[in-house]
Amino acid sequence: MPDLPPSGVENPVQVTPAVEALAVTYDATISVSTEITLNAGTKLIEVCAIDKAILLNWGTADASTTVFDEVIPANTVRTFYIPAGVTAVNFIEQAATAILVLVEK
């Protein structure tokens, strides 16, 4: 388990592997569920939600405001290890103008 930041630290440094990205996605049009098939070698993803929150659903089922596994708050980056057997992810914006940035590593 990683060490927690000292009390009072609001933005701890997030460390991800220093390797080249296997694939990247920049999408400013995710008003409907957007499915991304992951690179076969992808072990983790970094997801950035610009302007509005983005909802993530693992697998091939469409994401919606009632069907999602993870939420990426607006203007943040979250890192997720890929669950065993998952080959795709689906995203949908929480509200209009959300931008998705996805980095596969």
Q: Is the pTM of this model over 0.85?
A: no
Contacting residues for 13 by C-beta, under 8 A, at least 6 apart? none
Q: Are 49 and 76 in contact (CB under 8 A)?
A: yes
* CATH number assigned to the domain with residue range 23-104, chosen from the 4 options 2.60.120.10, 3.90.850.10, 3.20.20.80, 3.40.50.1820: 2.60.120.10
What pLDDT digit, counting tens, does each position of 33-80 carry? 999 999 999 999 999 999 999 999 999 999 999 999 999 999 999 999
β-bridge mates for residue 102, sequence order: 25, 47
- What was the pLDDT predicted at 16? 72
Angle at 22 between CA 39 and CA 20, to 5 degrees: 160
Percent of the chain with pLDDT over 70: 86
Q: What average pLDDT score do residues 22-35 get?
A: 94
Residue 15 has pLDDT above 80, yes or no: no
Indicate the residue type of 31: S
